[in-house]
Chain A
Amino acid sequence: MLKARLATCGFSSRQRKNGVPLREEFTKGIIRQNPVISLTPLGLCPTLAVTTSLKNGIAMGVATTAVLVSSNLIISIFKRLIPKEIRIPCYIVVIASFVTIVELTMQATLPPALNQQLGIFIPLIVVNCIILGRAEAFASKNTVAASFLDGLGAGLGFVLALALVSGIRELLGNGTLWGLAISGRYEPAATMIMAPGAFLVLGLLLGGYNLVRGRGAVSAAHAERIRPASRKPKGGEGVR
């Protein structure tokens, strides 16, 4: 029974899933279905917290991608062995294990200053909604190859979003990019490095996304409601 189950899990030789070429599973995560810059952003906490410089942002993104890809892979391989009722705790344990691996690797290989700046947000990759969401929505239902590529694509999209936010923040808040001073005469705005700058940059980026995608149009009913008050006279002249 176990052998039969193992034989059927994940290792399919199909190259297409529902007619979608595998290449597409990879590219969709980068721009079109970017996990952060979309209508329903996920993974906001690291996006705002560690993007104080381009280096930090990209390091965080790469770490998250590593966890995403590995957990997608494992969950997709073992998807038929995990009972439906306890699937979420199982996914969480898998993800947490990979986060521990990534965390210990980073502590061993990267400079301590970087690790200190990333702080608790590396362990917090465990509860990053992107990873659990991809696992639940995709890896548990698709082939190993597709899940791998989906994880890679989404991870790259995440890196892109983080790079964008951190690039802007570092440029405006520190006058540098990747540690290299850009212009001598620019007086950096320190708030960009701090909390308000994070929210501001992300808000404007999301607004820009809506603009480009042409979203945000309100229904006529709502537009009617928010126009300034113009009350109709109550069926007669005033009585005074």
Chain B
Amino acid sequence: MEINVIIGPVIALAALGIAFGVGLAIASAKLKVSRDPRLEEIIELLPGVNCGACGYSGCEAMAAALVKGEVDPSSCALIAPDAAKRAAEIAGTGLGQKTKKAAVVLCRAEGVADNFDYFGIGDCAAAALSQGGPTACRYACIGLGTCASVCPFDAITMGDDGLPKVDIDKCVACGKCVAACPRGIIILAPTNRYIHVLCSSRDKGALVRKLCKAGCIACKLCEKACKFDAIKVEDNIAKIDYEKCTLCGACVEACPRGIIRDIREEETRPTAAAAAAAEQVNSKE
């Protein structure tokens, strides 16, 4: 047996192995991303589900933000309270107040007709692909329940009126419904800000009047009523600045179509028809 057949490969492989090993060692030393030793400990404490509820792309990203002090552990929806405390201790940040957020669907479509009869996959994204969607108002909720089906916490259900209902207790603001809605009419808002403009239509007022009984016509009465400059009409739709809103309810009173609502009072609110009747009464006076 030729001895070269054994020596040759052994030398070659040894040389390769040493070269690669040394190369990797140098690389990992020189290109070291200074990894905070606390990171490993914190990652252990986090649930490791990578759900994204905290707003970061996974538990490792959240741990990195924690150590930097950008977030506090209670932003994690699934962490146990004592684990959160321990994580906060390790990170050296205090345990702050959680600003709980929840999803809000900005649409209260009433009497919106269909453009066409849709026979297809029971999915809003799929329906939205067909000529912009089967609803006459192109900003309206399509009502096929994609948001409800993607919610991992069963916090959204479809109501009898064809619109989604958010259960604030179950919602952890993971944002999956926001991403799933093809019309982009779901937002995440702090739960202690419960006054919202429940319409997303950017169509001009005259058109909206024809399409929907509960559509914003950009009459600007809410803007005039607000003393705190918290609501503005831009792009034919009223928008609330949740930082400035003091929940005084002036805009709720002012809106002639009853679109701005306190969403805690969902069950007891008057329908838009009643609000329209009230408007007629008001305009007669």
Q: Do the two chains touch directly in the complex (Cβ atoms below 8 Å apart)?
A: yes
Chain B, interface residues (CB within 8 Å), range: 35 or more
| Any B CB within 8 A of the CB of A83 | no
- 14 A-B residue pairings within 8 Å (CB atoms): A229-B118, A229-B121, A229-B144, A231-B114, A234-B110, A234-B135, A234-B163, A235-B110, A235-B162, A235-B163, A236-B213, A238-B111, A239-B112, A239-B212
Q: Give the chain B neighbours of A214 by CB distance below 8 A.
A: none
| Any A CB within 8 A of the CB of B122 | yes
Q: Give the chain B neighbours of A236 by CB distance below 8 A.
A: 110-111, 213, 273
Q: Give the chain A neighbours of B212 by CB distance below 8 A.
A: 239
Q: Which of B136, B144, B149, B210 is within 8 Å of A231, CB to CB?
A: B144
A-B contacts besides A229-B144, A231-B118, A234-B140, 16 pairs, CB < 8 Å = A222-B149, A225-B145, A225-B149, A230-B122, A231-B142, A231-B144, A232-B143, A232-B160, A235-B110, A235-B161, A235-B163, A236-B110, A239-B113, A239-B136, A239-B211, A240-B113
Bound Cα distance A222, B149 (Å): 7
Bound Cα distance A221, B213 (Å): 32
Q: Which of B109, B127, B135 is within 8 Å of A235, CB to CB?
A: B109
Bound Cα distance A226, B163 (Å): 18
| Least Cβ–Cβ distance between B248 and chain A, in angstroms | 28
| Any B CB within 8 A of the CB of A228 | yes
B150 (CB) vs chain A CBs: closest residue: A225
Bound Cα distance A225, B157 (Å): 12
Instruction: List chain B positions with a Cβ less than 8 A from chain A.
Output: 109-114, 118-123, 127, 134-136, 140-146, 149, 158, 160-163, 210-213, 271, 273
Listed residue (A221, A227, A233, A239) with the most chain B CB atoms within 10 angstroms of its CB? A239
Per DSSP, are chain B's interface residues mostly helix, strand or loop, or mixed? loop
From known contacts A228-B122, A238-B114, infer whether A233 and B162 are also in contact, taking CB-CB under 8 Å: yes
Listed residue (A225, A227, A229) with the most chain B CB atoms within 10 angstroms of its CB? A229
CB-based contact A227/B113 at 8 Å: no
The 5 closest A-B pairs by CB, nearest first: A238-B113, A232-B162, A236-B111, A235-B161, A229-B122
B211 (CB) vs chain A CBs: closest residue: A239
CB-based contact A225/B122 at 8 Å: yes
Bound Cα distance A232, B118 (Å): 12
| Least Cβ–Cβ distance between A187 and chain B, in angstroms | 40
CB-based contact A237/B142 at 8 Å: no
| Least Cβ–Cβ distance between A197 and chain B, in angstroms | 30
Bound Cα distance A239, B118 (Å): 18
Q: Give the chain A neighbours of B109 by CB distance below 8 A.
A: 234-235
Q: Give the chain A neighbours of B114 by CB distance below 8 A.
A: 231, 238
Q: Give the chain A neighbours of B211 by CB distance below 8 A.
A: 239
